[in-house]
Amino acid sequence: MSSNISAWLVPVLLAVACIALVGNIFHTKKVNKSLTGDIETAQADLQVASDNGKECDKKLKAKIAEVAPKDEQIATLTASVNTLTEEKTKMQEQIAKLTVDSRGRQGTQGI
């Protein structure tokens, strides 16, 4: 009887193992398709992000080019303001000096 059991047990175990292997193959194919889809989605997202980065870089360069002349104008105007402020200060000092001189002359003429 023992030989009868082992005679049909080995083929049954082999059949079960084959079924398990076939199931594993189908499961692996399904997982691979899913992973392939995920990779394609990630690549598409990466391409979109790269394109957005390039577009932002172009916009940034355009803004820098737009702002550079304004920065130069601001620097020129700041220098002009500083020069005019110095001239104003000098003129105010001259006015104060002339006012003092004028009051001094009026005081000496009054005596």
Length of the chain: 111
35-65 pLDDT, tens digit each: 999 999 999 999 999 999 999 999 999 999 9
What local confidence, expressed as pLDDT, does residue 6 receive?
74
User: Over 70: is that where the pLDDT of 110 sits?
Assistant: no
Fill in the amino acid letter for 103: R
CA separation, residue 100 to residues 86, 91, 97, 107, 109 (Å): 21, 14, 5, 10, 14
The DSSP result for 19-55, as a single string, is HHHHHHHHHHHHHHHHHHHHHHHHHHHHHHHHHHHHH
pLDDT, mean over the chain: 91
Average pLDDT over residues 19-36: 97
What local confidence, expressed as pLDDT, does residue 86 receive?
96
Look up residue 99 and give its two tokens: 């006012």
